[in-house]
Amino acid sequence: MRKHVIKVVLFAAALAMMPALPAMRVQAVSENDADKDKDEKTEEEIMKEESAAAKHQLYRYYDNLMLLNDDLSEEDKKKLKEIMENGKKLINDAYRVSDLSTYVSETKGLMDAYINKVIEEIPTSTSEFLVIGDNAPVSQAKYGEQVTVIVPIYNMGSEWIDDVTVTPTMSGSVKEWPFEIEKTGYSERITEIPGSTNKEETWLNHREIHYTFTTREDVLSGYYKLEFNVLYSRNNKSETAKLYTFVKTEGAPGSGSTDGEEEESGKSSTPRIVVTGFETNPQEVYAGDTFLLTIHVKNTSKRTAVSNIQIDLEAAKEGKDEDTLYAAFLPTSGSNSAYIDTIPVGGTADMNIEMTAKADLVQKPYALNVKMQYEDEKYNPYTAETSVSIPVKQEAKFDMSTPEVMPASIYVGGQSNVMFSIYNTGKTTLYNVQVKFKGDSISGGEAFVGKLEAGGTGNVDTMLDGVAPTMDDGKIKAIISYEDDAGNVTEQEKEIELFVMEEALMDPGMEGMYGEDMEPLEEEGGSKGLVIGIVAAVVVVVIVVIVILKVRKKRKQAKELAEDLFDLNDETGDKKE
């Protein structure tokens, strides 16, 4: 029972007194470093800084273990130092920033495991009879608020202890005593603590003292080790002892910590605001569209809140020369700035601004610079700068010339030549442009055009086969498909006219009419056959003439409609510009 009974408290103290490893950089987010004159740090410099912070954290952890366990043997101290040095070597050999926190955690775990083996024999009291019990929770004290500290005292001997007086060791230094000194005496008296012969009796016979303190406004964050002087009587003889416990404190933002790291550096750590991501609504931004931009920012500091935050957005400049430069994005409200009142320690905030993408932007990502100005709780000014990249898309558009179909009327089994041009009228490239034809009366005609740059032209020259007579108005479909730069396929249909007629069959009665075996016809019969042949020929000619006139009429109407649409597009483009 004379073992160390506050092991859990010691471990909690060691853990809490360690400063956290600096937050890892967010990929694709660059920050303005005030100490680097706003120049971006290289990967090597970042790795060097993070490695130094990780090694410093290990040293702090080792140093606090030494302070909390100052009665360790020289051999134990040497072993703990060896574990720490091995951890530092791992950090020196690390290739990635993400590995550093792993090495720190593993090394701390090894030191904790070693301490766990030897800590059982470390006394918590200078008396072999009196100890503080390990069943009392560690008190939580927040700056400016009251807290109750419970001191459970156990008599580990069989002899009674009388006239017990317990007095805390106080100090006016905030580094040594976390509470206000509001009266001259804080001694508490216990009449007696009976002796015990077993654990159950020891627990039943223990006594508790409750202290109510007011936490200092300038208290440091971390763990304080509280010392209590005990005066008691045993066998009518006065004896003294010292008892120890811990209290966990929460200081005001920017107040510092009990490990003294801020005091050694000579200044508070620099609070950082970083952009953690952004969103656009709608998700895909097209040139000429208005969209809502939401930027997510975070205060990465674990000690300092930031306030009076101004965020300015600056879009990339576009144009061919200095006289024609313009911003790719323009805020609809006319202001490209936003204001955030405050972001607490580790907190996040969102900035929303409605913007319009210029109509003539080419399809590509555009950078948007994010400049931030803010203050810490002591009104020290800071700046940071980063950028986000917003992809802008252009709507794919094309047009086609009036198809030339020659001949416009064919028999089943015949072929017709179809020719037309495809114009890329948009501002983005069309990939894998190809044409297929669909109709019950035709087959074949597939054509591959390939890549069409913005403003480019592709030509289609193909042959269609007549496979069945036309049973409708003679319209077939030309299906034009293309891919955008993301591989998405788009199809559009255009109609053209092509008539397929039933194949002309010769009258069996006229077989051999001009052959060698043809028998002479009687004069009347010959005249009758001639008349029938002439009539049939006239009927065929009339049908062909009607079809051709109908096709030419529709082609003329389609041409006039295409010219009207082209003129309308020109007028619309002029208005946009």
SS3 534: helix
How many C-beta atoms surround the C-beta of residue 340 within 10 A? Answer: 18
CATH architecture of 273-393: Sandwich (2.60)
Contact 246, 6 (CB under 8 A): yes
- When pLDDT is averaged across residues 276-280 and rounded to a whole number, the result is 89
Q: Which residue has the tokens 């994005």?
A: 329
Higher pLDDT, 245 or 129: 245
How many residues can be counted in the chain? Answer: 577
The domain ranges of the chain are: 7-122, 130-262, 273-393, 398-513
Name the band, by pLDDT with cuts 50, 70 and 90, for residue 502.
confident
Q: Which residues contact 284 (CB under 8 A, 6 or more apart)?
A: 391, 393
Contact 259, 152 (CB under 8 A): no
Distance separating alpha carbons of residues 85 and 571, to the nearest angstrom = 77
- When pLDDT is averaged across residues 447-465 and rounded to a whole number, the result is 90
Joined together, the tokens standing for residue 214 give 């007011």
Among the residue ranges 303-317, 388-402, 500-514, the one predicted with the least confidence is 500-514
Over pLDDT 90: what percentage of the chain? 16
Q: What does the DSSP 8-state code read for residue 303?
A: S
CATH class of the domain at 398-513: mainly beta
Q: What is the pLDDT of residue 484?
A: 80
Beta strand 489-497 with 475-483 is antiparallel
Tens of pLDDT, residue by residue over 27-59, are: 333 334 444 443 456 778 888 888 888 888 888
Contact 131, 154 (CB under 8 A): yes
Which own/partner pairs from 443-448 qualify as long-range (CB within 8 Å, at least 24 positions apart)? 443/467, 445/418
Q: What is the pLDDT of residue 22?
A: 40
Q: What is the pLDDT of residue 480?
A: 92
pLDDT at 133 exceeding the cut of 80: no
Up-side HSE of residue 166: CA atoms within 13 Å toward CB?
Answer: 25
Distance separating alpha carbons of residues 458 and 480, to the nearest angstrom = 12
CATH fold of 130-262, please?
Answer: Immunoglobulin-like (2.60.40)
Tens of pLDDT, residue by residue over 211-270, are: 999 999 989 888 898 999 999 888 888 888 888 888 989 988 767 777 655 444 444 567
SS3 290: strand
> Any idea what the Cα angle at residue 248 is, between residues 143 and 202, rounded to 5°?
130
- Of all helices (H) and strands (E), which one includes residue 551? helix 523-576
Establish whether domains 273-393 and 398-513 are of one fold.
Answer: yes
Distance separating alpha carbons of residues 482 and 491, to the nearest angstrom = 7
Q: What is the pLDDT of residue 545?
A: 56
Cis peptide before 331 (omega within 30 of 0): no
| Mean pLDDT over the full length of the chain | 77
Among the residue ranges 186-200, 384-398, 555-569, the one predicted with the least confidence is 555-569
Tens of pLDDT, residue by residue over 136-181, are: 677 899 999 999 998 888 888 888 899 999 999 998 888 889 999 9
- Of all helices (H) and strands (E), which one includes residue 574? helix 523-576
Distance (Å) of CA 311 to CA 336, 350, 351, 386:
8, 11, 8, 11
CA dihedral 367, 40, 28, 392 (to 10 degrees): 10
SS3 77: helix
Q: What is the pLDDT of residue 461?
A: 92
Q: Which residue has the tokens 């936003």?
A: 338
Tens of pLDDT, residue by residue over 508-563, are: 554 444 444 444 444 455 555 565 666 566 555 556 656 665 655 666 666 666 66
Q: What is the pLDDT of residue 99?
A: 83
Tens of pLDDT, residue by residue over 399-452, are: 888 899 999 888 888 899 999 999 988 878 889 999 999 988 889 889 999 988
